[in-house]
Amino acid sequence: MSPGEVSLAVAVDRYLRHVAIERGLSDNTIQAYRRDLGSYSDVLIRRGIDDPSLISSADVSAFAHELRTRADRPLTASSMARMLSSVRGFHRFLLEEGMVAADVAAEAKPPKLSMRLPKAISIEQMASVLAATDGDDIQSLRDKALLELLYATGARVSEAVGLNVDDVIDGDIVRLFGKGSKQRIVPVGSYARAAIDAYLVRARPAFSVRGRATPALFLGIRGQRVSRQNAWLIIRAAAEKAKLGIEISPHTFRHSFATHLLAGGADVRVVQELLGHSSVATTQIYTMVTADTLRDMYTTAHPRAR
């Protein structure tokens, strides 16, 4: 394909199809790419450019400058980095497909990100949140099963609410589908197993008769699959009932799962597999949390630490 043969909109659509098919990215990631490249296209169109072969490094720099200086909707450094990453990936694709003669975004540098440590709560705090869902009514049984499963497996909230009944294998193993539909098998501890069993026997049938037949594991009050937003509300309500005094989210369960495993002596590569991380470097961030905890304890307890 020669430069100048396709419009900007067509090139973007081809790139999105490429990353969806060739890289197997999740729908959420594809939508993020679409939004990022939509913003980039808007800037290019305002600059009179609708041909990918006419984009210059100055145009890429203009987009980066607009991201840094926008006053109406200021972006975090991580959002800016992600948007520039989307643009750089798009331009690499244009070059590989022969739509342009050079990669004009190769020198675009994303902002440096500060190392953000995952937020985890203590084992005692987690126990109080889980205890806040105690009860014999069907909603309490469901909420208990959902929260116990999140903490027992480190599942992302989208993975948990996407589970079907058949994904719970032999009661003590769950089959999770992560980013890019990658499948992994994660053990389920005795507490979560007991909570899920109680929910399946005593609560799910009551939810199921309220709606259409669905294979979903976790059901809402109308018999439909529990949504991610529902899961957030369930967690928020449990945290308020437990009187934690801090905001927690579904990711708090994932972070706490990893941090508590590593603090208990689990190998980082095992935790990597359980979390579904493609790179061990991502998982190693949690080892910094554990190291910080050890350092604090040492400083407090050792007579010659300070």
**What is the set of active-site residues?**
156, 179, 251, 254, 277, 286
Phi, psi (rounded to 5 degrees) for 164: -105, 165
Q: Apex CA 118: angle with CA 116 and CA 124, to 5°?
A: 145
**In 3D, which of 202, 1, 197, 234 has the Cα closest to residue 95?**
1
Q: Which long-range contacts (CB under 8 A, 24 or more apart) does 14-21 make?
A: 14/93, 14/97, 15/89, 15/90, 15/93, 15/94, 18/93, 19/89
Q: Could you tell me which of 122, 120, 128 has the C-alpha nearest to residue 147?
A: 128
Backbone angles phi, psi at 216, to 5 degrees: -55, 140
Contact 149, 193 (CB under 8 A): no
Contact predicate 26/75, CB 8 Å: no
> Which of 255, 225, 40 lies closest to 146, judged by CA?
225
Angle in degrees, CA 13, 18, 23, rounded to 5: 140
